[in-house]
Amino acid sequence: LEEKWTRYALGVPLVILNSPYRSLLRPLVEYLDALQAQGDDHMVTVVIPEFLPSKWWQHVLHNQTALLIKGTLLFRKNTVVVDVPYLLKR
Query: What b-and-e string marks burial along 47-58, b requiring 16 or more CB atoms within 10 Å of the CB?
Result: eeeeeebeeeee
First to last CA, the chain: 24
Mean pLDDT score, 56-62: 74
pLDDT digits (tens, 9 = 90+) for 71-88: 999 999 899 999 888 877
Q: What is the pTM of this model?
A: 0.76
Q: What are phi and psi of 80, to 5 degrees?
A: -115, 135
pLDDT of residue 90: 64
Residue 10's φ and ψ, nearest 5 degrees, are 55, 40
pLDDT in tens, 18-53: 877 778 888 899 999 998 888 878 888 898 888 888
pLDDT at 61 over 80: no
